[in-house]
Amino acid sequence: MSRIDYQGVLDEIIDEVQSEFGKGHVASYIPALKRVPPRKFGMAAVTVDGDVFSVGDAFEAFSIQSISKVFTLSMALNAKGVALWQRVGREPSGDPFNSLVQLEHERGVPRNPFINAGALVITDCLVASTVNARRQIIDFIRRRSGNAGLCYDVEVARSEKTHGHLNAAMAYFLKSHDNLNSDVEAVLDVYFHQCAIAMSCVDLARGFLYLANGGDCPLSGVSVHERSRAKRINALMMTCGLYDSVGSFAFRVGMPAKSGVGGGIVGVIPRVLSVAVWSPELDPSGNSHVGTKALELFTTKTGMSVF
C-alpha cells in the first residue's frame, strides 16, 4: 500500500469545501459562540506515530463544547468501571441532544453519555469521586493533548451558565430521580466549564490519539484504557457521537467521531490516526456543516474508514 499524502489531501479539502460556506448557522443560543466568525476553517490529522498535518486555522483555539464529553466519559469509566452503565445507557437518542422529553419518558436514565443529560450524570460521577473535578478534567486533557497550556474560556463558561436553563432543568430532573448524587449547582458549574475548554484542531487530534491507539496515549506513554474499553468508547462515538444525525454521518463519513456546537468534530481511524476539523456554521442537528463535508472528503480521498 502506497503512503498517503495527508498534507496534499488536506490542501485539496480546504479548496473543495469553499462552496459549502453559508449553508449553516453559527450557534446563537450561547452568546459567546454567536460572535465567532462563521467562515473560520481548520483541519488537522495526527498519526499514531506522531506526524502532524494541518491546514487553515488548525492552530486556533475554539470552544470544544460537547467534544469534552469523550474525555469525561474516559475519566468516569476509569473511576467507576462498568457500574457506570447502571446510570446511563448506550443507545442512540434519535432526539435532539438537549431533549428533556426523552429523559422524562425514560425516568431519569439518559439514553447515552453524549447527550446533555447523560453528560451531566458523567460529570456528577467526577464531582463525587475527585477533590477538584475542574482541575482533574483540564489536567487529563492537557496530558492527552500534550499541551500544558490548555485552559477554560471564562467568558464562554459564564455565557453557558447565564443561558443554561435547560441544562439546569435536566440536572434537577436527574436529581429528582436519584440519578445525580452531588450538589446540582456544583455539577452544573463543572459541566459548563468542561464545555468551555478551548482547544485547536491540532490539540484535539492529538488528544484523541489514545482512542486511535488502542487506549495507549502516544504523547505521554501512558495507558489510559485497556484495548477493549477504547474499542467501546469508539463504538459509542460511532452510534451516539453526532447527536440525532449520527446515522447520516456514519453513512457519509464512516468513522467514530464526536462533535460540538462550537463547530468542532474529531474522528478516529483505529491504529492509524485521529483527525479534527473546525468550522462554526452548524447544520440543523448541531454539527458543523462544512466540517462534516470535509471529513467525508477525507475518508473518500484517503480510502480510509472503519467499513
Of 70, 253, 261, 277, the active-site residue reads: 261
Structural domains of the chain in order of their starting residue, each with its CATH number: 6-302 (3.40.710.10)
What whole-number percentage of the chain has pLDDT above 70?
98
Q: Is 69 a catalytic residue?
A: yes
Of 66, 74, 99, 274, the active-site residue reads: 66
pLDDT in tens, the chain (307 residues): 358 999 999 999 999 999 999 999 999 888 889 899 999 999 999 999 999 999 999 999 999 999 999 999 999 999 999 999 999 999 998 776 666 777 888 888 999 999 999 999 999 999 999 989 999 999 999 999 999 999 999 999 999 999 999 999 999 999 999 999 999 999 999 999 999 999 999 999 999 999 999 999 999 999 999 999 999 999 999 999 998 899 999 999 999 999 999 999 999 999 999 999 999 999 999 999 999 999 999 999 999 999 9
- What's the pLDDT at 103? 80
Asked whether the beta carbons of 209 and 44 are under 8 A apart, the reply is no
Q: Is 277 a catalytic residue?
A: no
Instruction: Transcribe 30-65 into DSSP letters.
Output: SHHHHTS-TT--EEEEEETT--EEEEESTTS-EE-G
- What's the pLDDT at 28? 84
Of 69, 161, 175, 258, the active-site residue reads: 69
- What's the pLDDT at 67? 98
Of 17, 26, 243, 268, the active-site residue reads: 243
Q: Is 259 a catalytic residue?
A: no
pTM of the model: 0.96
